[in-house]
Amino acid sequence: MLKKAHKIIGISIALIVIHLAVTGLILMYPKTFGLYDSYFNGNYILSLYKMYKIEDVKTNSNLEEIGVVSSKIIVIDSILETNLDEILGVYKKDKNIFVTNKKVFLLIEESEQGLKIIDKVELEFEAKRMLSNNKEVILEGENHKYYKLNEIHEFNVIKNINKNFVAQELSLADSDVASFYLGLIQAPGVQALRLVTDLHNGRFFGPFVMLIFACSSLLITFLAISGSYITIRPEIKRRLYKIKKNKNR
């Protein structure tokens, strides 16, 4: 019975044992296998590790000096977390940067110390897009209603706008520009050392596989003990038999 259980369990977890052995060997020699300097940046891998992809970087086509990655605003090498979801538009005038989503409008100041939010306006309407004529900032709401930002950073309804206003909307950034901005906020990908480590412990595959790996570790312990017992049992029986035989003489 023990031999049968040993064989069945051994065959069942053979692939897992091989996986653990190979990944464990690679982890023992990280420099040899280049784990420190290698990175994986495929979209699937980046998504698994909740890292940003090139498709997540947006810019205003008129202002490529400003990048938007999710809720982050990047100007040259300064990064600001705005905590705004679904940013609709970005506009820059002198040292002031205007950012809006559907419900919140931010005024950001650029200085030698970096970026700083100097005013936050909770909108009483739902913004659809931002427009500017290089002097004034206007938000377009529902039903083509327009709201102009005044000197005290409030929005007043206006009846119409002239043709000089240009939409300050976001679009996908050029791949080179996107790579530059991503390089400011995260590593060039998932480090090979981290990936192999997560493959080794099962974390890469999720909680269910981690549970299987944990159970397999217990079964490997059983295999070691049962294998040792199956191996030495015949020898123990032979010795006991010889001792008993010698006593009966």
Q: Which of 52, 45, 82, 41 is nearest to 173 (CA)?
A: 52
pLDDT in tens, the chain (249 residues): 766 766 777 777 788 888 888 999 999 999 999 999 999 999 999 999 999 999 999 998 777 789 999 999 999 889 999 999 999 999 998 889 999 999 999 999 999 889 999 999 999 999 999 999 888 899 999 988 999 988 888 899 988 777 788 899 999 999 999 999 999 999 999 999 999 999 999 889 888 988 888 888 888 888 778 877 787 877 777 776 676 766 666
Q: Say how far apart CA 22 and CA 234 lie, in whole Å.
A: 33
**Contact status, residue 150 vs residue 157, Cβ threshold 8 Å:** no
In sequence order, which residues have a C-beta less than 8 Å from that of residue 44 and are 6 or more positions away?
none
Same domain, residue pair 233 and 118: no
Per-residue pLDDT tens digits for 214-224: 888 888 888 77
Q: What global pTM score does this model have?
A: 0.76
Query: Which tokens in the block code for residue 106?
Result: 């931010």
Same domain, residue pair 112 and 218: no
Residue 201: C-alpha distances to residues 26, 27, 33, 197, 224 (Å) = 13, 11, 18, 6, 20
**Contact status, residue 27 vs residue 200, Cβ threshold 8 Å:** yes
Per-residue pLDDT tens digits for 18-45: 888 899 999 999 999 999 999 999 999 9
Q: Which of 69, 66, 27, 18 is nearest to 46 (CA)?
A: 69
Same domain, residue pair 59 and 176: yes
**Is residue 61 helix, strand or coil?**
coil
Please give the residue range of the domain that contains residue 80: 52-186
Same domain, residue pair 80 and 31: no
Per-residue pLDDT tens digits for 54-63: 999 999 877 7
In sequence order, which residues have a C-beta less than 8 Å from that of residue 34 and are 6 or more positions away?
192
Same domain, residue pair 21 and 70: no
Same domain, residue pair 215 and 160: no
Same domain, residue pair 182 and 118: yes
DSSP class of residue 168 equals -
Q: Number of folded domains in the chain?
A: 2
